[in-house]
Amino acid sequence: SIPRIVVTRVLPPTSQAALEKLSNVEMVQWKEDRNMPRDLLLNSIKGADGLLCMLTDKVDQELFKVAGPKLKVVSTMSVGFDHVDTAELKQRGIKLGYTPDVLTDATADTTVMLLLAAARRLKEHQSCGGWRDLNVTCHNYPTQWREWGPNWLCAFCLMATVSRHIFSQSNFIPGVQFTSKTLGVVGLGRIGEAVAHRLRAFGISRVLYSGRGTKHEAAARLGGALHVPFHGLLAKSDFIVVCCALTEETKGMFNYDAFRRMKSSAVGSGRNRWWMVLGGEIGEGSYVMGAVGIFVNTARGGHVVQDDLARALQENLIAAAGLDVTTPEPLPTDSPLLGFKNCIVVPHIGELSHKARMFVILSNIVDLNISVSFLFCFSAVSSCAIGSATTETRDE
C-alpha cells in the first residue's frame, strides 16, 4: 500500500509545490497557517508511515504510541530536535531527518546581529523611553544634545555617574567594541563555529568554548579556541553566545548562578563605578564601562531560566542580552524582559533568511521513487538529495 505521511504545516512555496507533486503517497497536511492542533495531529498520525513536523510540534511518547508500528520516519524542519523524544524514537527504530548546515550561516548572522545590537546599545539609541533618552526619536530634546559631538555621550557618562538619581544609569554610555575581547561559545558545533569565525573578523582575540568533548578541528579552523569548563567560560568571556542543543543537561544552564558568574559590568556600581568616570578602555583592551558580560541566545529558550535573566538584568549583573529564542514564543507582552533597554528580543528569526528557507528546493527535487526515505527530502529546509543522501539522518 502507498505510504501515508502527515505534514503539520504548509511549507514555503517552492517546497510546498514539490511536496504536492509527490505521487505514490497519501498526504495528510494541515493547511491553516498556524500550528496543527494537537488532537488533529494525534488523529492523523494513527497508522501513518511518516511525519514531517516543525519545531513547534511535540513528538513525544504519546504521539509514537498513537502512531503505531508503521511509523518509520520523522523529519523535522529544524536543526534542533529537542521537541522530539529521541530515546523513544531510537527504541522504535524510527529514523530522524533534520536540517543541519542549511541554516548555519543564517543563524550565525543573527547571533552576530544580536551581539552587535547589544554591544552598541541599539535599542537604547533607537527607542525613546522618556525625557532621559538621547536618541533619534526624542525630538523634544535640544538639537545640540542630539547631534554628533566629541564629548557626546561620554560627558553624559560622567553626569550619569554622579547623578544616578537623575539619569537612568544605562543611558548615555558608549557601546563596546569586539576588538581584543574574549568570546565564549557554549557549544562549538556548526553554528557556534560560524559565529566565532565571524567574530574573529571583528577583532575578537580569544575564543573559549564549553560543551561535551574537545573540538580539535573546529578549534584549529578558528586559529585556536580553548576548551574550558562552563564556569571558566562564564568568568572569562566578555561575550557569551549559546549555540548548543537543548538537552536535559543544558536545560536551564543559564540560571542566576551562571549570570552571577559572568563578568560584572554593573554600570555605576561596585568597582566599575569609577572606571566609568574615566571613560575609555582600561587594562587588557577591556572596556570596563558597561562593556563586558553580554549574553546572546539563538539556540532555545529552554537554556535560560528567564526569571533569573530578568533578575540579572535588573541587578546589573550583566551588561546586556540579546534573545532570538524565549519561553514561550512569543513572549507575553508583560514579560519583564521586554522592558529592559539593554535586552533585545527578536521572535525566533535565527534561520529566517530567504536562502535558508528556500534552499530545500535547489537540491530536493531529486529522484523521489524511494518508499519512505523520500521524507528526508521534505525536511523543508534540508539540503537533502536522495541517493547521495546529503541530508543527515540520525539513528538516535
Closest CB to ligand GLV among 103 and 196?
A: 103
Of the candidates 125, 303, 348, 354, the residue annotated as catalytic is: 348
Closest CB to ligand GLV among 3 and 97?
A: 97
In angstroms, the CA 27 to CA 193 distance is 38
In angstroms, the CA 124 to CA 316 distance is 15
Choices 72-80, 112-120, 182-190, 306-314 (CB under 6 A): range interacting with ligand GLV: 72-80
Amino acid at 323: L
Closest CB to ligand GLV among 272 and 306?
A: 306
Per-position x/- string for 38-67, each x denoting binding to ligand GLV as judged by CB under 6 A, each - no binding: -----------------x------------
Q: Applying CB under 6 A, which of residues 12, 297, 350, 357 lies at the interface with ligand GLV?
A: 350
Contacting ligand GLV within 85-104 (CB under 6 A)? 103
Neighbours of 389 (CB within 10 A): 11
Contact in structure between 28 and 74 (CB atoms under 8 Å) = no
**351 scored as a contact of ligand GLV (CB under 6 A):** yes
**79 scored as a contact of ligand GLV (CB under 6 A):** yes
Q: Going by C-beta distance under 8 Å and a sequence separation of 6 or more, which residues neighbour residue 378?
A: 7, 11, 15, 18, 19, 52, 75, 360, 364
**78 scored as a contact of ligand GLV (CB under 6 A):** yes
Listing DSSP states for 147-193 in one string gives S--TTTTHHHHHHHHHTTTTS-TTSS------TT-EEEEES-SHHHH
Closest CB to ligand GLV among 298 and 316?
A: 298
Is 125 one of the annotated active-site residues of the chain? no
Closest CB to ligand GLV among 80 and 97?
A: 80
Q: Applying CB under 6 A, which of residues 50, 80, 189, 192 lies at the interface with ligand GLV?
A: 80
Q: Which helix (H) or strand (E) holds 241?
A: strand 239-242
Spatial CA neighbour of 219 closest among 243, 193, 247 = 193
What residues line the site for ligand GLV (CB under 6 A)? 55, 78-80, 103, 350-351
Which residues are catalytic, by number?
Answer: 348
